[in-house]
Amino acid sequence: MARDHHHQQHGQQQLEVLSALDKAKTQWYHFTAIVIAGMGFFTDAYDLFCISTVTKLLGRIYYYDPASGKPGSLPPNVSAAVNGVALCGTLAGQLFFGWLGDRFGRKKVYGMTLMLMVMASVASGLSFGHTAKSVMTTLCFFRFWLGFGIGGDYPLSATIMSEYANTKTRGGFIAAVFAMQGFGILAGGAVAIFVALGFKTAYPREAFELDPAGSTPPEADFVWRIIFMLGALPAALTYYWRMKMPETARYTALVEGNLKQATQDMSKVLAVEITEENSAAKAAAIQSQHKNKYTLFSAEFLRRHGLHLLGTTSTWFLLDVAFYSQNLFQKDVFTAVGWLPSAKKMSALDEVYRISRAQCLIALCSTVPGYWFTVFLIDRIGRFTIQLMGFFFMTAFMLGLAIPYNALRDGSHMTFIVLYSLTFFFANFGPNSTTFIVPAEVFPARFRSTCHGISAAAGKAGAIVGAFGFLYAAQSPDREKTDAGYPTGVGIRTALLMLAVCNGLGFFFTLLVPETKGRSLEEISGENGGEGGDHPRPILPV
């Protein structure tokens, strides 16, 4: 109550439609919103991570050289392109659709990103041509556009969920949308397991060392295509529901200044009668204020939200460097516990099956639980605490992996796996979830989607550094031991130490981001419903 009183003192009457949303009891529409926004994320994760289940297969099919005596593998530049092009597309999509979502409304743009994802998923499974080069080129082309659509989903899903949610459980709801990513990763692994099993049963083959040419049946070419194309299903299924969701009240009222429409939409959604007194006068006030508001590239924005934006971009960047470099030692982990024998001892389909199984196990044990810990605890202990704690433990466990790295790799496999899993448990019960949530809460409605897109794009830049910079850096300094085609690097141990430093930096940059728990969005961003102006808690006497 004290907070409402404080509001009235400043003449800051919260718009009734927004306070109705803030105070709404958790109802059915909250859960439908989570599912509708979350299915986009489910698809994103499926599409982004399913590539890792089939990269080895693509190498065996298209780059097998009988003279080498080894199973075919993607040359470094092709591997980087196939894995990286979707990340580059995502980065571009986050910036573009984030800006579009503030220009034309969340809802209009939401359908576009989904259609793009459906079309690009199907097309990347249809990659044309028979030569290695033509298949890889078309695959990369469509993976880029797939990434572009996925990128749009980040700012829009987060913004829609934060603007629909009530104050009390907002963090948990946005986290639940993001947690669908965990299920998407699981689904990617599960689909690959079933497809590989089906083909393995239908076309059994000997391991590579027994039958080099025959270990990859020609039908294996369908496996990766089917896995990619199935990614279109969940997105297509939710398209209809996405189109039926009304525009968020905060966009309609605060950005478009159409109070009447916002009130009507939310009365339907909340199934309660919301009345706006003298709404015409209020709407006019909001409209006139809107014309005089500061823009994104202004000294005023910099003064009020500059540090927030620095905080949200830098923490997301540093987190993703560590998060996406995890495939550095994934092969060590899988081989160490005997989940993966060496490539020669498996047939092509057997390899897909085993890699997918190993990924599912990791996702089940550390990825998925981490997300749900966040969902249940974020509105109790707050974003700030979870993010600090996550970065702290990630730094600690990375150091725990790095310092005794050689001894762990050759000796105690169990310790290695536990430390590896804990690192990613605390990434997800930590900055991986909070860096997604906070940018959707800190900024004013008219910049919310844009600023979330900028923060997310900084994250993807980190992902590109993590996935490729560290892939090259982690190569052995010894010429003999590098992976085929790679130059020498600093070795995994040094790379791990560098990652620990990144996590440590993330800890300090978190200090720039305010705690948003339990406050209304307008209060956090300093937007004022009463006069439609922006009066943040004054730091300097204004």
Tens digits of residue pLDDT in 286-305: 555 555 577 778 888 888 88
Read off the pLDDT of each residue in 30-40 and give the average, rounded to a whole number.
85
Q: What is the pLDDT of residue 270?
A: 64
At 1, the pLDDT band (50, 70, 90 cuts) reads: very low
Cα gap 324→87, rounded to integer Å = 10
User: Mean pLDDT lowest for which of 35-39, 414-418, 501-505?
Assistant: 414-418
Residue-wise pLDDT for 242-280, tens only, equals 888 887 777 777 777 777 787 777 776 666 666 665 555
* pLDDT surpasses 90 at 528: no
User: Mean pLDDT lowest for which of 13-27, 60-74, 94-108, 346-360?
Assistant: 13-27
* pLDDT surpasses 90 at 537: no
Mean model confidence pLDDT for the chain:
82
Read off the pTM: 0.86
Read off the pLDDT of each residue in 341-364 and give the average, rounded to a whole number.
86
Residue-wise pLDDT for 200-222, tens only, equals 999 888 888 888 888 888 888 99
Q: What is the pLDDT of residue 283?
A: 58
- Check residues 114 and 295 and name the one with the higher pLDDT: 114
Query: Which tokens belong to 150?
Result: 């996925």
| DSSP letter for each residue of 328-385 | HHHHHHHHHTTSS--GGGS-HHHHHHHHHHHHHHHIIIIIHHHHHHHHHHHHHH-HHH
Label each residue of 264-325 as H, E or C. HHHHHHHCCCCCCCCHHHHHHHHHHHHHCCCCCCCHHHHHHHHHHHHHHHHHHHHHHHHHHC
- Check residues 116 and 473 and name the one with the higher pLDDT: 116
Query: For the structural domain made of 26-286+295-525, what CATH number should be given?
Result: 1.20.1250.20
Q: Is 323 exposed, middle or buried (0-12, 13-18, 19+ CB in 10 A)?
A: buried
Residue-wise pLDDT for 136-152, tens only, equals 999 999 999 999 999 99
Read off the pLDDT of each residue in 324-350 and give the average, rounded to a whole number.
77
At 446, the pLDDT band (50, 70, 90 cuts) reads: confident
Alpha helices by DSSP H, listed for 382-465, are 383-402, 405-410, 413-428, 431-437, 439-442, 445-464
